[in-house]
């Protein structure tokens, strides 16, 4: 096998033609060379294990801004002891373990997800909200759903035929393994943790409508589409009509999808009940759902606001009528990839997060959205380009015998509702309604500026927005908290993410300067330094040189030894918590998967690695017996502090998405998904009723205020928008005195910058700090400083009497 390196991976991709690398430039050449999708897999470099001392240094640096001097001193002592005792030994064990693995972190990663026992809804599964179809006539449910299904199937075909061009960053191919795990995949709960099951030859989709299940085949054994968009539309309309014949209250009582929202062990026992008799009706129905390419959810509601739409895509709506749940929360199956389409055509994606990250599903969502537009364009102009290098033969012109054994007519799954299932369904629904009621959502679609303005001012857009979260939170609560952002590491073989810790000494200095009575220049300078630091950390994490994943792997190895010793003491044959020994449903660790009889035992159940788009709060697991003391670095309070993520953030999106989000990371935290577009920023925040709308308003106010500060120091005449014509600059430089071209009064925007007219001070007429305008930021900073230093409040002068003094009546 060739050596794994970035250069060899890049060369493997460049061996394919430009048309194969970018099919959209191809106008109809159906000849394709399969294999480009995974061409670089065997040459991608393996995820490197960072140096232990460097990891510990980064860890302490991330902790410092969150701690008092005394707390940080204790953490330094714990780290120093770790480096002298347990650390080096664990590091050597990790290096030895990694030699036989695809990645040193991968198995621990899967275990952390699959051993999670709480409901996946609102805890693990993220969502995407797609933009509406640009052709309004197509924004009705059946038409939009059929279009999305055809585009999704075309994507599946491209993956299976290995014609999907690989993801690239600066001409460097990324790992494409996750795409092989997207379709026909299901999360299967068992008594000893979940498993990932997959039918790689799945060719049917399951449709959920009013809680009722339907299915039909849509691909053949050669992975070609066997239905046109018109055929799919007809099927979906028939399904909707059939589902509406059952009163919503009656349908809700048999909406088995709600069981997928249960605690995983409870769901496992209920699945055992459904599938206990192999070949029975319920067992067959369950297998059809599990093995489907994906789930299509047709909702009967029409959410109007952005926050309601986000809620619907993440967890569904909860609406109880006459004691029966009739909300869309029962019209879901959270163990699989779901495409959700509302009555008015609004659409989104909810995905099971174990095997795929947001970046992977974003590519799927983007390509699906793009394909719907290009197919519509092709119906107008046959020369319009296609997103795919090759397409399926026209189903309407194929020989019927060529389709093979397929069922294109919709079939309704009719479950046998035994009393135990009916009771379990009722309890699952009430628990889900509780869970939905415990969370709230707020969105911001900030249209005043976006990426173009930020970059024109010399800032990294992501770093710029990350500082907004810190400043807004500090303005509300007067303190810095642990913040998290994932960085993609797919430049490595089976790479997933590394954790960025955005709170730094530089960001703390900026936030305190921003809220103090300081000149605009000083505020902007500290912002610039904070953003530069954030960008530097992001680059390190993208190279897998962070501290979170490395330390988590070391803790997992320590836990593995504890579990092994505990297993010997109790004479057990295998670790009951391991997901890698569950009846053949191994975690998807790839072609170099380790022997199940090796030391693949589970890692601690929850960790900071679950803070990606899923938003889980981490915790450490105590040792199983008294013979093993927790390594000092993990026993220190700093480990819990940094892993108790209050602001869990993720930047994932492009113009095909309207919103992206996930549930809150902890009871006192926020889950923040955001998309930075050229001229806007979209944010979806969730929390367990922590004044989410107020927090969103604070972020918006910060954006307005920081723009005002930037404009004060911005050189007049320089365009703020990269998309603006430079003809304005030519006009500004044109010699004066040309009679005809100088006539008239200049109106509207600043001709040089495109800005709105400014007041006499040179500052744009933005509002002040919105909700913060009622107090002086300097007073806030002074109060906070006084609190931090423990100063006593100064004595105040005796209060004078104000107002008319009333006489007490004498009795």
H or E element in which residue 12 lies: helix 6-14
Q: CB under 8 Å to 472, separation ≥6 — which residues? A: 695, 698, 699, 701, 702
Cα 383 to Cα 26, 374, 380, 632: the distances in Å are 10, 11, 9, 66
Q: 610: closest CA among 669, 690, 689, 561? A: 669
What angle in degrees, to the nearest 10, is found between the helix axes of 419-437 and 264-275? 150
Cα 456 to Cα 498, 520, 523, 554, 660: the distances in Å are 28, 18, 18, 42, 25
Beta strands in 137-211 (DSSP E): 168-169, 172-173, 185-190, 193-198, 204-209
H or E element in which residue 371 lies: helix 358-380
Task: Report the distance separating Cα 186 and Cα 293, nearest Å.
Answer: 9
Residue 497's DSSP bridge partners are: 488
Q: 586: closest CA among 262, 193, 96? A: 193
Q: 537: closest CA among 511, 491, 566, 503? A: 503
Beta strand pairing call for 212-217 and 185-190: unpaired
- Concatenating the DSSP letter of every residue in 719-755 gives -S-TTS-THHHHHHHSPTT-TGGG-S---SS-TTT-P
Cβ burial of 627 (10 Å; 0-12, 13-18, 19+) is exposed
Decide: 309 and 345 in contact? Cβ < 8 Å. no
- Concatenating the DSSP letter of every residue in 330-355 gives GS--TTS-EEEE-TTS-EEEE---SS
Which two three-digit tokens encode residue 639?
Answer: 């480990």
Task: Report the distance separating Cα 656 and Cα 704, nearest Å.
Answer: 25
Task: Report the distance separating Cα 637 and Cα 639, nearest Å.
Answer: 5
Task: Reduce the DSSP state of residue 488 to 3 states and report it.
Answer: strand
592 is catalytic: no
Residue 673's DSSP bridge partners are: 650, 684
* Diameter of the chain measured on Cα atoms: 107
**Residue 802 phi/psi, 5° resolution?**
-125, 135
Task: Report the distance separating Cα 172 and Cα 180, nearest Å.
Answer: 20
CA torsion sign, 546 to 548 to 550 to 551? positive
Task: Report the distance separating Cα 671 and Cα 311, nearest Å.
Answer: 13
Decide: 495 and 544 in contact? Cβ < 8 Å. yes
Residue 207's DSSP bridge partners are: 214, 296
Task: Report the distance separating Cα 318 and Cα 321, nearest Å.
Answer: 10
Decide: 710 and 700 in contact? Cβ < 8 Å. no
What angle in degrees, to the nearest 10, is found between the helix axes of 69-84 and 52-63? 170
Decide: 464 and 710 in contact? Cβ < 8 Å. no
Among 353, 389, 534, 547, the one annotated catalytic: 353
Task: Report the distance separating Cα 163 and Cα 34, nearest Å.
Answer: 5
Which two three-digit tokens encode residue 620?
Answer: 């450490």
H or E element in which residue 256 lies: none
Decide: 222 and 405 in contact? Cβ < 8 Å. no
Report the b/e string of 220-245 with b at 16+ CB within 10 A: beebbbbbebebbbbbbbebbeebee
Active site residues: 353
């Amino acid at each position: 096998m060739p050596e794994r390196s970035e250069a060899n991976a890049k060369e493997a991709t460049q061996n394919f033609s430009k048309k194969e690398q970018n099919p959209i430039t191809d106008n109809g050449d159906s000849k394709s060379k399969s294999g480009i999708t995974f061409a670089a897999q065997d040459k991608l470099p393996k995820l490197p294990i960072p140096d232990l001392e460097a990891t510990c240094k980064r860890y302490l640096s991330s902790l410092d801004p969150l701690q008092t001097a005394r707390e940080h001193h204790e953490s330094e002592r714990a780290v120093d002891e770790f480096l002298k005792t347990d650390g080096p030994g664990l590091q050597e064990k990790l290096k030895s373990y990694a030699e036989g693995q695809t990645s040193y972190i991968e198995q621990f990663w899967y275990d952390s997800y699959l051993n999670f026992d709480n409901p996946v809804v609102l805890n693990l599964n993220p969502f995407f909200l797609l933009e509406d179809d640009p052709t309004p006539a197509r924004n009705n449910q059946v038409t939009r759903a059929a279009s999305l299904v055809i585009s999704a199937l075309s994507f599946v075909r491209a993956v299976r035929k290995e014609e999907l061009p690989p993801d690239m960053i600066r001409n460097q191919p990324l790992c494409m393994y996750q795409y092989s795990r997207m379709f026909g995949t299901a999360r299967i709960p068992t008594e000893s943790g979940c498993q990932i099951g997959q039918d790689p030859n799945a060719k049917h989709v399951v449709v959920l409508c009013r809680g009722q299940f339907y299915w039909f085949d849509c691909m053949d054994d050669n992975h070609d589409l066997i239905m046109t968009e018109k055929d799919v539309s007809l099927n979906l309309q028939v399904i909707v009509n059939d589902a509406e014949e059952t009163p919503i209250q009656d349908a809700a009582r048999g909406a088995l999808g709600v069981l997928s929202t249960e605690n995983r062990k409870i769901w496992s026992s209920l699945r055992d009940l459904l599938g206990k008799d192999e070949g029975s009706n319920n067992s067959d129905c369950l297998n059809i759902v599990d093995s489907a390419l994906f789930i299509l959810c047709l909702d009967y509601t029409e959410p109007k606001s952005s926050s309601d739409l986000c809620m619907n895509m993440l967890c569904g709506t909860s609406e109880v009528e006459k004691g029966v749940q009739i909300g869309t929360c029962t019209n879901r199956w959270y163990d699989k990839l779901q495409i959700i389409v509302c009555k008015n055509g609004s659409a989104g994606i909810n995905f099971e997060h174990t095997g795929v990250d947001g970046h992977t599903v974003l590519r799927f969502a983007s390509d699906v959205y793009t394909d719907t537009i290009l197919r519509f364009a092709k119906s107008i102009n046959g020369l319009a380009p296609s997103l795919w290098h090759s397409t399926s033969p026209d189903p309407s012109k194929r020989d019927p015998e060529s389709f093979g054994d397929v069922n294109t007519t919709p079939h309704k799954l009719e479950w046998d509702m035994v009393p135990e299932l009916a009771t379990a369904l009722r309890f699952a629904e009430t628990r889900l309604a509780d869970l939905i009621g415990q969370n709230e959502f707020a969105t911001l679609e900030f249209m005043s500026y976006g990426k173009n303005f930020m970059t024109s001012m010399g800032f990294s857009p992501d770093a710029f927005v990350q500082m907004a979260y810190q400043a807004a939170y500090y303005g509300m609560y007067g303190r810095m908290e642990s913040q998290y952002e994932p960085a993609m590491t797919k430049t490595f073989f089976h790479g997933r993410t590394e954790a960025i810790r955005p709170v730094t000494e530089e960001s703390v200095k900026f936030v305190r300067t921003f809220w103090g009575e300081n000149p605009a220049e000083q505020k902007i300078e500290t912002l610039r330094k904070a953003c530069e630091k954030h960008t530097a950390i992001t680059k390190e994490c993208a190279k897998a040189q962070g501290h979170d994943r490395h330390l988590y792997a070391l803790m997992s190895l320590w836990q593995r030894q504890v579990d092994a010793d505990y297993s010997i003491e109790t004479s057990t044959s295998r670790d009951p918590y391991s997901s890698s020994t569950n009846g053949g449903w191994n975690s998807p660790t790839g072609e170099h998967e380790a022997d199940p009889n090796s030391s693949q035992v589970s890692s601690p159940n929850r960790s900071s690695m679950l803070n990606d788009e899923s938003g889980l709060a981490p915790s450490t697991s105590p040792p199983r017996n008294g013979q093993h003391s927790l390594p000092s670095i993990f026993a220190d309070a700093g480990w819990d502090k940094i892993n108790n993520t209050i602001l869990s953030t993720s930047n994932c999106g492009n113009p095909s998405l309207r919103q992206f989000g996930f549930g809150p990371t902890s009871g006192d935290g926020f889950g923040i998904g955001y998309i930075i577009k050229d001229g806007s920023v979209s944010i979806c925040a969730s929390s367990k009723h922590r004044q989410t709308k107020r927090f969103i308003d604070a972020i918006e106010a910060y954006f307005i205020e920081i723009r005002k500060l930037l404009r004060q120091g911005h050189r007049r005449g320089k365009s703020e928008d990269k998309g603006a014509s430079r003809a304005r600059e030519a006009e500004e430089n044109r010699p004066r005195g040309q009679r005809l071209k100088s006539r008239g009064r200049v109106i509207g925007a600043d001709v040089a910058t495109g800005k709105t007219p400014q007041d006499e001070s040179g500052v744009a007429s933005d509002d002040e700090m919105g909700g913060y305008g009622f107090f002086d930021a300097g007073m806030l900073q002074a109060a906070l400083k006084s609190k931090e230093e423990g100063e006593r409040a100064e004595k105040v002068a005796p209060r004078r009497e104000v107002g008319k003094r009333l006489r007490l009546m004498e009795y």
